[in-house]
Chains A and B, each alone.
Chain A
Amino acid sequence: MSSTQMLKGILDGCLLALIAEEEIYGYELATKLKAYGFADISEGTIYPLLIRMQKLGWIEATSRVSPSGPKRKYYSITTSGMEELAAFTKRWHHLSMSVESILKEDD
């Protein structure tokens, strides 16, 4: 399995975490993801996920004028998004601990 495929499964949670930090727009979100090390993923990958998360009610979008001029869609997290983020964090900790312990055994 490539690292891209592996990452896609956890991108939802990472996007939620970044949106929970502050209201953010698409390009900024993609740039932040890259800065955190998600360099293998093409930037556009976030948009289908953002559409899905809006449908699920985890995030909401507001269109407003950005400080640099054009009108942009800013994303913010909802209460149900916060709940999902908490559930994701729990799942991730459990998974990473399991993987860690297996890898340690191999060493």
Chain B
Amino acid sequence: MTLSTESTRFLEDLKVYLLASGKNEQTTNEIVHELEDHLIEAESDGKSVRAITGESPAAYIQSISKEMAFDPKEVFWNVLQIFLGASSFLYLQNLLNGTTTFSMLLVGGFLLISIVYLTTLALLFRQDALRDSARPRIMLYGIHGSVHILLIIGLLIVNGLIDSPKITLSLSVGWMIGALLIVWILVTAWKTKTWILPIALLVYFAPQIILRSVFDWSELTSGLVGYAVAAITITVAFIRESKQDQSKSSSH
């Protein structure tokens, strides 16, 4: 038996809120699954989601969250994942350009931006999960993402202007770290069944490598083409995913 749209949304909101609050993923899945079971039986007995959550689903979600422990290990891995995911573009781009010197300011700044990005994104998710409206605030997420891109651009500019301690790797060590980074990204994607990052890396770097090695294009123009191909692919994938989600929820 399939659940009503209202119940499905409640379960999605509950999951998003708990994960964005740093709760353990397995424990979160367990409680979501348990409530899904409860809702299936309740709906077959003619009850609505309000019979389970009371008048305020938001207050109910918070009452569940209050009883669940914060999982620092889970949060650490999420931050690390975002940090390595975001820095992989920068690191591999440098490697492709033959640069293996990295400033501490750049590495530290990138880590800080990743932490701020994840914390504020979790806050937005938590707010959205408790809102009455089913529509996520796309505009706000767009602004949030853009602000962080600007922060990264700002960091790159400041890094070019200020002299800070640097780490220089030999080319072989640089490539070894690059290979480990790619393996780590692939393993994480396989474990989480989320292939967006490896695909984004592939569509960003493959055109660059081909244009530079086969057609002898410059770093800048091939980089711009890589950026454009990656941006278009991700946008198309995002629109397709949203349309699939919409048709799934309207079929309920």
A residues near B (Cβ < 8 Å) are 25-27, 30, 42-45, 47-48, 51-52, 55, 63, 70, 72-73
Contact = CB atoms under 8 A, between A and B. Distances in A.
Contacts of A27: 37-38, 41-42
Interface residues of B, number: 21
B54 A45 contact: yes
20 contacts: A26-B37, A27-B37, A27-B38, A27-B42, A30-B38, A42-B50, A42-B54, A43-B38, A43-B42, A44-B38, A44-B52, A44-B54, A47-B34, A48-B66, A51-B68, A52-B67, A55-B67, A55-B69, A72-B34, A73-B30
Centre residue among A45, A47, A63 by max chain B CB count within 10 A = A47
Contact of B34 (A42, A52, A73): A73
B65 to A, nearest CB: 9
A66 to B, nearest CB: 9
Contacts of A63: 30
A25 B30 CA distance: 13
B189 interface: no
A26 B38 contact: yes
Contacts of B64: 47-48, 51
Tell me whether chain B's interface is mostly helix, strand or loop, or mixed.
helix
Given A47-B64, A51-B31, 11 more contacts: A27-B42, A42-B52, A42-B53, A42-B54, A43-B52, A45-B54, A47-B38, A51-B68, A55-B69, A72-B37, A73-B30
Contacts of B60: 42, 44
B53 A44 contact: yes
Centre residue among B31, B51, B63, B67 by max chain A CB count within 10 A = B67
Contacts of A30: 38
A47 B31 contact: yes
Contact of B51 (A42, A52, A73): A42
Contacts of A25: 37
Nearest to B10: A44
A43 B39 CA distance: 10
B35 interface: yes
Contacts of A72: 34, 37
Q: Which 5 A-B pairs have the closest CB atoms?
A: A42-B54, A44-B52, A51-B67, A27-B41, A48-B67
